[in-house]
Amino acid sequence: MKKRSCVILGCSGTVGQRLIEALYPHPWFDIVDIAASQRSAGQKYKDRMRDSWYLSSDIPDEIAEMVIKPMDPKVVEEADLAFSALPSGIAKEVEPEFAKAGYVLTSNASAFRMTEDVPLIIPEINADHLQLIDIQKEQRNWPGAICTDPNCTTIGLAMVFKPIYDRFGIEEAIMNTWQAISGAGLPGVPGLLITDNVIPYISGEEEKVISEVHKILGKFEDDHIVKADFKMAATCTRVPTIDGHFETAYIKTKEPVDIEEVKKVIREFPGLDSLGLPYAPKDPLIVREEMNRPQPRLDRMAGSVPGMSVTVGRIRPGLDEKSINLCLISHNTIRGAAGAVILNAELMCVKNYV
Ligand SMILES: NC(=O)c1ccc[n+]([C@@H]2O[C@H](COP(=O)([O-])OP(=O)(O)OC[C@H]3O[C@@H](n4cnc5c(N)ncnc54)[C@H](OP(=O)(O)O)[C@@H]3O)[C@@H](O)[C@H]2O)c1
């Protein structure tokens, strides 16, 4: 694969750090520039990150010496791709400016996820929704494009729903989360508030999960997405784990279910082997049979590409023959963020959108 140049927008946040860790050794992408807010611009990355680097890997030497740019496409180096890890409010203003300047954006931000002509992609589920990019470029007349990944809470859930939705249909679903603190970004939730505690809400999260699942499981028809339309309720909470969102789901199906068959369709959920994407795990969904799995600490790095697989467990009957109970773990800053936008970028490369 021909190497593509890329820039990282929001390089100093929790997702930005994961992007640097993953993109620096990536065989297809070269980091040519990094950008953050005016608070960070002008500083060497290693100086800015002295007290904020939260990963156990070291900052790559070459990146450590880079000077952070302000968030302006006129100042940031030209590149094929821009990986965006910006807060939504900033992304809303900045991402279209970068698309107008010719960058193909692969974004973590929620700003454009539900916009009609913007794809919201999980490559194993809805790669065909990338066709929205053709419509987007035509309607907006810009040389670049914006492609988004789902919220970190949505991704694991949508991946587990997909094989169930296709085989048994979904009538309605109720989900609950116990979400890691890295999901709140930096500086995040103060230690004094989260230690020894559960925060019983995450602003906007429940609405995002519901609307995003419906778009992802929707069908591309003519020039738009026809969304899935089952009923859903969500409760999202924050807990003092560092990485890895734990979620439970109660799913009412359209067809009667056999629990062994539910496990089989989840286990056999196909990866993207034929495309040869470096970030695509061979085992996107892993089923555990033990009563005490999955757990964030034990399972968040599962899979052939560590952190890119979702682990599902305690798959059991619900209240009647048309219902399923289960829980899952997905790594919020890898499969749920940095890894997701990297996988989307790889997909766009092989589909000739970059
Ligand atoms: N953390 C997760 O697990 C996760 C998962 C999925 C999606 N996301 C989404 O990914 C995005 C990044 O999340 P995060 O957790 O990495 O956030 P974060 O830790 O708060 O980092 C935000 C980044 O954006 C930059 N930024 C903030 N305000 C800016 C401004 N006014 N102008 C230019 N740059 C600005 C920051 O630069 P400074 O350091 O200079 O302020 C920093 O580099 C968000 O949209 C979030 O919702 C996060």
Could you tell me how many residues make up the chain?
354
Compute the average pLDDT of residues 14-40: 97
Residue 115 and residue 223 in one domain: no
Distance CA 113, CA 155 (A): 13
Q: Residue 33 C-alpha to ligand 1 middle, in angstroms?
A: 17
Of the candidate ranges 88-92, 151-155, 187-191, 312-316, the one whose mean pLDDT is the lowest? 187-191
Q: Which atom of ligand 1 is nearest to the CA of 333?
A: 3
pLDDT of 1 over the 90 cut: no
Q: What is the average per-residue pLDDT within 239-248?
A: 97
Residues 247/176, Cβ–Cβ less than 8 Å: yes
Residues 106, 186, single domain; the answer is no
184 and 61 in one domain?
no
CATH at residue 291: 3.30.360.10
Cα 154 off chain centre by: 8
Considering the domain architecture, whether residues 143 and 175 belong to the same structural domain is answered as no
- Domain of 183? 152-331
pTM: 0.97
Nearest Cα residue to atom 38 of ligand 1: 37
170-179/231-238 β-pairing:
parallel
- pLDDT (mean) for 57-64: 98
Residue 24 has pLDDT above 90, yes or no: yes
CA of 338 from ligand 1 middle (Å) equals 12
Of 67, 58, 77, which Cα lies nearest the Cα of 20? 58
Q: Are residues 167 and 300 in the same domain?
A: yes
For CA atoms 59, 104, 84, 27, give the dihedral sign.
negative
Among 86, 182, 331, 341, say which to mutate for ligand 1: greatest number of ligand atoms within 8 Å of CB.
86
- Which ligand 1 atom sits closest to the C-alpha of 48? 39
* 77 and 164 housed in the same domain: no
Interval 142-200: pLDDT, tens: 999 999 999 999 999 999 999 999 999 999 999 999 999 999 998 899 999 999 999 99
The CATH number of residue 127's host domain is 3.40.50.720
Separation of 45 CA from ligand 1 center, angstroms? Answer: 16
